[in-house]
Amino acid sequence: MPSPYRLIFAAPGAKGFSAAGFLGRMPLSMMGIGVVTMISQLTGRYGLAGGLAAAVALSAAAVGPQISRLVDRYGQRRVLRPATLVAATGAAGLLVSAHRGWPDWTLFVFAAVAGCVPSVGSMVRARWAAIYQDSPRELHTAYAFESVVDEACFIVGPILSIGLSTAWFPEAGPLLAACFLTAGVFLLTAQRATEPVPHPREQHAGGSALRSPGLQVLVATFVATGGIFGAVDVVTVAFAEEEGHKAAASLVLAVYALGSCLAGVVFGLLDLKGSAARRWLLGVCAMAVSMIPLQLVGSLQFLAVALFVAGLSIAPTMVTTMALVERHVPRAKLTEGMTWTSTGLAVGAALGSSAAGAVVDAAGAGAGYVVSTASGALAAAVGFLGYRRLLRPAPQRVTPQARGRSGADGHDEDRAEQRHLA
């Protein structure tokens, strides 16, 4: 039997747009940690470093969904290229102002502009959704593969960003991230054959995709989940510095991503038939529980093991989230809906990195992991409170064929569970 991964790449152009998406997503793992490393190298102020990383993430959170909404209307090529040039200009200004020691406010201005980046992962997933919109099994595998690509970025990205900034010059990591973004977006948008067909303005009646109750639950939960990631990044760099091996932080964070990557590969091979909402909630709870051992870390080796285990729950949860977004958001707003989940993560990462930086400055790196544990607990709580909403697909997503189908994508199981809970 051919591998499910081999089958999805039989589609013309799939290898090309996925490879371009890998380049374009590298800044996702490089820019924030690169800014933290750069500023801590130049000033030694982790509070400022976390604040600037938060500014980049919050800017991306505010602008990303708006870019994706325009993409749904006008197409990827027309929107992504000018947006990327704006972000690259902001990144250049941030590096120059940091290098020259300009006032802090200039750093924040350029950080906000640098955050005006498109959600490249959403653009790639929208292409997969357009190709396999009538093939749930293949779409599940494609989403799993893209989660593996995300984690591969988080394995390679921090090593490059932290390694270059500590071994070459402080600005090297963010500089390379900006180059990856520009190259990836321009290569992606050059591939017109697989670009999803834009939807005219009249198909966007009803406002933002965020009006969907199910999407609201996913985004709110991901805000808390993002707090885990933001805190882990900042605190791990600080912890490694306290241990006298700051450059090793990139390897420890790579192990975190490796756990998620391996779990994602296996998850994509499975033909799942249960409730997607239940799988999602279990994944969120597993992520929360996995943060508890971080309170006990006493060495980089123990930290690496704890983060590897914690990473095992990430990719399966992300894959299931994309499936739920596809169920709860109209097709004409799919790119925007996917971007809102990334926005939730970005907001949470901004808050988490800022809070963790302040805790590290005040009480040391060991205390910083309290932020990630609290974020995980909050994510689980929000997931439980909003669980019922995830059992009701958006009416416009349920076709007559879907109503008559049983089991394959978990819709019937979700409805049965909803009746049980009622």
In a domain, 281, yes or no: yes
In a domain, 204, yes or no: no
- The pLDDT assigned to 408 comes to 38
Mean pLDDT of the 35-64 span: 82
Residue with tokens 């909003």: 386
**Overall number of domains in the chain:** 1
In a domain, 199, yes or no: no
Q: Which of 65, 210, 44 is nearest to 123 (CA)?
A: 65
Inter-helix orientation angle 136-167/120-131, to 10°: 160
- The pLDDT assigned to 394 comes to 56
| Average predicted confidence (pLDDT) for the chain | 83
Mean pLDDT of the 78-106 span: 90
**Within 13 Å, how many C-alpha atoms sit on residue 324's CB side?**
30
d(CA 236, CA 223): 20
φ, ψ (nearest 5 deg) of residue 55: -65, -45
Helix (H, G, I), strand (E, B) or coil at 275: coil
d(CA 81, CA 184): 10
Residue with tokens 């900006």: 178
In a domain, 7, yes or no: no
Per the model's pLDDT, the better-predicted residue between 1 and 129 turns out to be 129
φ, ψ (nearest 5 deg) of residue 16: -65, -50
d(CA 138, CA 14): 13
In a domain, 203, yes or no: no
- The pLDDT assigned to 182 comes to 93
In a domain, 122, yes or no: yes
Residue with tokens 């006990």: 296
d(CA 267, CA 319): 9
Q: Which amino acid is at 378?
A: L
Give per-residue pLDDT as tens, 96-144.
998 888 888 899 999 999 988 888 988 998 899 888 888 888 888 888 8
pTM, two decimals, is 0.76
Per the model's pLDDT, the better-predicted residue between 250 and 370 turns out to be 370
200 pLDDT band (50/70/90 cuts)? low
CATH code assigned at 76: 1.20.1250.20
The answer, yes or no, to whether residue 63 has pLDDT greater than 80, is yes
Residue with tokens 């800014």: 35
In a domain, 88, yes or no: yes
The answer, yes or no, to whether residue 400 has pLDDT greater than 60, is no
- The pLDDT assigned to 403 comes to 36
Domain residue limits at 386: 12-193+210-421
DSSP symbol at 355: H
The answer, yes or no, to whether residue 178 has pLDDT greater than 80, is yes
In a domain, 202, yes or no: no
Mean pLDDT of the 235-239 span: 86
The answer, yes or no, to whether residue 185 has pLDDT greater than 90, is yes
